[in-house]
Amino acid sequence: MDTSHVLYGFTDLKNLDSHGPIVLNKAKGAYVYDTNGKKYFDGNSGLWNSVVGFDHPKMIATAQKQYQELSGYHSLFGRITEPAINLTNKLIEVSPFDEGKVFFTNSGSEANDTAVKLLWFMNSHKGMPKKRKIITRYNSYHGVTVGAASMTGKPYNDVFGLPLPDFIRSACPHYWKFGNEGESEESFSSRMAQDLEDVIEKEGAETIAGFFAEPVMGAGGVIPPSKDYFKLIQPILKKHNIPLIADEVICGFGRTGNLWGSITYDIKPDMIIASKCITSGFFPLGAVIAGEEITKELIEASYAAEEFPHGFTAGGHPVGCALAVQAIDIIIEEKLVENVRKLEPLFMGGLKKFEDMEFIGEARGIGLMGALEMVQDKKTKKPFDGHMNMGERVANKAIEKGLICRPLGPSIVLCPPFITTPEQIDFMYTTLEETLKEVFNDIKISN
């Protein structure tokens, strides 16, 4: 097929020129197939999201039924569809909030942008237009729209001249990487909390609209927070009257072994950002779920301003909402969160064993999300030179062997679907071990 008109996102194009793309045309359970009929175990659940099985019959039936009944409609100007109402109720029911409001978007990025605009809207109504700075962490990932990219704490957004003003950073709680020689994990977490407080005090709490955090940093390389990090930072945010927004785009709906990453880490968010598993990859859909306090303020502000002047044409699409209700029901009824928890010892135990290999610096994760970070020198944790493209090399070789895993800088990310079986985890690790041995041998020879 002629792929010359495709503009690929987040793709190493030089590398792609030598390999060519993988063109997919079929999927079954946790497997995808390319146009040559080759079968791959998808160790990345699509992009963290296809967790109930690519061909779940209830999902397909739900989409067919909804397309027949009402194929599409917006949810603005006081119009709403039944599936959108059902999904708002379902989300409040499964959220940590007793009461709240839900706003629909088409993606996680748009949900983050929406949450920022909600905070700005509320603060401006309260006569605090200067309370608009947004704090996120270095290495965090919140999306690609101009707002969400400004929130994302990765250096690659420099090429766009981002972040915009008012988007500021605090430290990344990755103990293995940033802990000082001889520093305990507890002291490290205290230092991270102190860094956040220093940022708040330097900027002025009265200028800060919100702090956004992923319970586990996903696209930053699967970085679970250091011990007690969230326990230490929450009182600081409370003291300074700064809302905590949990970006649950990856963690939400079971990935960490609980329905929310916020449950796993005892986070009490003021607002939740959801997407990805919400439709198990069957439809683009994101949601902002506002808790009790923010809801009260929003209602006041919206009445005063007549409207919340924001909304997407396809936000709250009835097919997407019907699929989301179905996906959440499947996750709950088929006990998929329990399956994540059941598989965790096998998944994490198997991952940890890779730390015995010569170039694996850290194996980390939780639930069914994990990463292996490769280093040139295990003692000093010196990374490989970027030009060696270690992540790409491993992922490309694994793909030849029928395993999809993802390179993220020097790390390899694994996040299999929630329907994964123990046998599939065995396949994943056997294949990855073979792959790593071959790649490590190659680099030793070329050195």
Which of 137, 142, 397, 406: binder of ligand PMP (CB under 6 A)? 142
Minimum distance from residue 108 beta carbon to ligand PMP (Å)? 2
Three-state SS annotation for the chain: CCCCCCCCCCCCHHHHHHHCCCCEEEEECCEEEECCCCEEEECCHHHHCCCCCCCCHHHHHHHHHHHHHCCCCCCCCCCCCHHHHHHHHHHHHHCCCCCCEEEEECCHHHHHHHHHHHHHHHHHHCCCCCCCEEEEECCCCCCCCHHHHHHCCCHHHHHHCCCCCCEEEECCCCHHHHCCCCCCHHHHHHHHHHHHHHHHHHHCHHHEEEEEECCCECCCCCECCCCCHHHHHHHHHHHCCCCEEEECCCCCCCCCCCCCHHHHCCCCCCEEEECHHHHCCCCCCEEEEECHHHHHHHHHHHHHHCCCCCCCCCCCCHHHHHHHHHHHHHHHHCCHHHHHHHHHHHHHHHHHHHHHCCCEEEEEEECCEEEEEECCECCCCECCCHHHCHHHHHHHHHHHCCEECEEECCEEEECCCCCCCHHHHHHHHHHHHHHHHHHHHHHHHHC
Q: Report 191-230 residues binding ligand PMP (CB under 6 A).
A: 214, 218-219
Nearer CB in complex with ligand PMP: 320/350: 320
Q: Report 261-320 residues binding ligand PMP (CB under 6 A).
A: 275
Minimum distance from residue 15 beta carbon to ligand PMP (Å)? 21
Q: Which residue is nearest to ligand PMP (CB)?
A: 108
Size of the site for ligand PMP (CB under 6 A): 14
Nearer CB in complex with ligand PMP: 220/361: 220
Q: Should residue 44 be labelled a site residue for ligand PMP when binding is judged by CB under 6 A?
A: no
Nearer CB in complex with ligand PMP: 45/431: 45
The binding track of 105-124 with respect to ligand PMP, each residue x by CB under 6 A or -, is --xxx--x------------
Nearer CB in complex with ligand PMP: 83/261: 261
Minimum distance from residue 74 beta carbon to ligand PMP (Å)? 19
Residue span binding ligand PMP (CB under 6 A) among the ranges 103-111, 260-268, 342-350, 410-418: 103-111
Nearer CB in complex with ligand PMP: 232/277: 277
Which of 54, 104, 141, 230: binder of ligand PMP (CB under 6 A)? 141
The binding site for ligand PMP (CB under 6 A) comprises 107-109, 112, 141-143, 214, 218-219, 247, 249-250, 275
